[in-house]
């Protein structure tokens, strides 16, 4: 039983680490291509600060 718990914990740690590394790789890719994403998907861009709503 102890071995099963250790294996499960080790697998969870490895999975978590892989997810963190994947997320960081995605953030780096997105940051380096932010202008291209903005041009390709203008409707998904947040409004500029000067374009805020008027109360």
List pLDDT tens digits, range 29-53. 999 999 999 999 999 888 877 655 5
DSSP reduced 3-state for 47: coil
Q: Are 30 and 37 in contact (CB under 8 A)?
A: yes
Report d(CA 48, CA 8) in Å as an integer.
Answer: 47
pTM of the model: 0.61
Find the largest Cα–Cα distance for the chain.
63
Confidence category of residue 1, pLDDT binned at 50, 70, 90: very high
Please give the structure tokens belonging to residue 41.
């998907």
Report d(CA 28, CA 24) in Å as an integer.
Answer: 6
């Amino acid at each position: 039983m102890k071995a099963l718990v250790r294996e499960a914990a080790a697998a969870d740690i490895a999975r978590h680490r892989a997810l963190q590394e994947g997320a960081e790789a995605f953030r780096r890719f997105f940051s380096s291509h932010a202008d291209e994403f903005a041009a390709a998907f203008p409707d998904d861009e947040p409004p500029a600060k000067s374009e805020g709503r008027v109360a």
